Amino acid sequence: MVPGLNKELQYFNITTSEDGRVNVGCFRVLFGFRVVGWMTGDCGNKIDWCAGDDWGNVERLYALAIACLEGQEEDGTPFRGLPFCSSVKPFYQDVDFTSTVLAMAGLRLDVVPLPKPPVELAMA
């Protein structure tokens, strides 16, 4: 389905499941964008993920939301197991959130601890 627009909610790039019950979209906020998911007819979102202000990260998080939901049954709880939001914003700074979402999307993230760069190479 082609992503759409809901002017009342100010959501855009909305993708709706074939049966019309599950939705994913984007929402503009002060410091960037959020990827949201909801059930048609329900009040409130089931997921509300901070993507930050980089559009590439918005696209990645949106794709992850879709991938997670594609593997779920539309039995009334397709968002089961998905975190409502990340503890740290934006999402990519939250290793637990990212690992959970990637696993639910059928992907894997192995975090490799790296030493911090020398002071002279650190960003100011």
Banded model confidence at residue 1, pLDDT cuts 50, 70, 90: very low
Statement: residue 122 has pLDDT above 60: no
pTM, two decimals, is: 0.81
pLDDT in tens, 27-50: 999 999 999 999 998 888 999 999
DSSP structure string for 59-115: HHHHHHHHHHHHTS--SS-TTTT--SS-SSSSGGG-HHHHHHHHHHTT--------P
| Residue 46 lies in domain | 4-121
Examine the pLDDT at 74 and tell me if it is beyond 80: no
Q: What pLDDT sits at residue 38?
A: 93
**DSSP secondary structure letter of residue 119:** G
Q: What is the pLDDT of residue 108?
A: 73
Number of domains in the chain: 1
